[in-house]
Amino acid sequence: MRIRGAGRIARAAAEALMIAAEGYSGGSVEEFRAYMEEVARLLLETRPTAVSLPNAVNYVMNRLRGSRPGSVEEAKRIVVEAAREFIEYSLQAVRRIGEIGARLVRTGDVILTHCNSSAVESILKTAWRQGKRFQVYATETRPRFQGYITARHLAEEGIPVTLIPDAAALYVVERLATKVIVGADTVAANGAVINKIGTSQIALAAKMRGIPFIVATETYKFSPYTVTGQPVEIEERSPREVLEQPPPGVEIRNPAFDATPPDYVDMIVTERGIIPPKSAALVLWEMFRRRPLDSGQGIAMEESEPTA
């Protein structure tokens, strides 16, 4: 696993489709379609939890599926253009989330974050560049230590950051933090947030302590599959990530994600504005109704005002 973060994975999937299309040298349009469908299938099998990947793949592939190219070159161009559109949209979304979410950050804040999220980094970096001064605590996020990436990126920006063991998150919430900001791999229609394992425990602690628990995520991570009640599959990774050689008779499980109930989430910061978790279904409905990427409407949408 070399690419980390659901947004980066989505952009990488779109780029992979673009590279596959550009490198194709077969015969007919139908052969090209079959080839691209196989590439898409292989990509979809790589990450069961993060909905950003299938949403990215389906965005690009649906453009091809809904077209009638007269030649292989035209079909390749359709895929390449769709992939570039998605990548650009994704990057703009992260930037916009930074602008919107920075309004929630105050000078003097002590912010806890978990794992690594380009959307969260965008918020913190934008707020810092605006002259707000605050401190960040980042969990190391075992067993893959994605928190190291967050800590390094924030330190490079000049933001004071302290790396802590995952088990110290409750200590920080109870004694130091003024708010928690995390990313998301998937947002369900009911507002539940699927993110790196340990997120739900931090959210529960924040709720008990009465401090804001904020999720930052792009709307293409909202899962249309959950509208009909389909559960989000929680990916289980290799036990060897936890311990290379466990003692005899010891079984190891390594679930990579957990689900945070919407009641534990105060707000979700998206490129379209700040919403309560209960509005996730409305976001999905709006996405289906307006199809902003296909129509070229970009990220424009009326924004809600921050409430904390």
Residue 244's Cβ-count burial label (10 Å; 0-12, 13-18, 19+) is exposed
Strands (E), 90-230: 110-113, 135-139, 161-164, 179-182, 186-187, 193-196, 213-216
Cα gap 8→243, rounded to integer Å: 27
Show the beta-strand stretches assigned E in the chain. 110-113, 135-139, 161-164, 179-182, 186-187, 193-196, 213-216, 257-260, 267-270, 273-275
**Which of 109, 115, 166, 266 is the catalytic position?**
115
Q: How far apart, in whole angstroms, are the C-alpha atoms of residue 77 and residue 202? A: 45
Annotated catalytic residue: which of 109, 166, 185, 266?
185
CB 184 within 8 A of CB 275: no
CB of 20 within 8 A of CB of 36? yes
* Known catalytic membership, residue 115: yes
Q: Catalytic site residues?
A: 115, 185
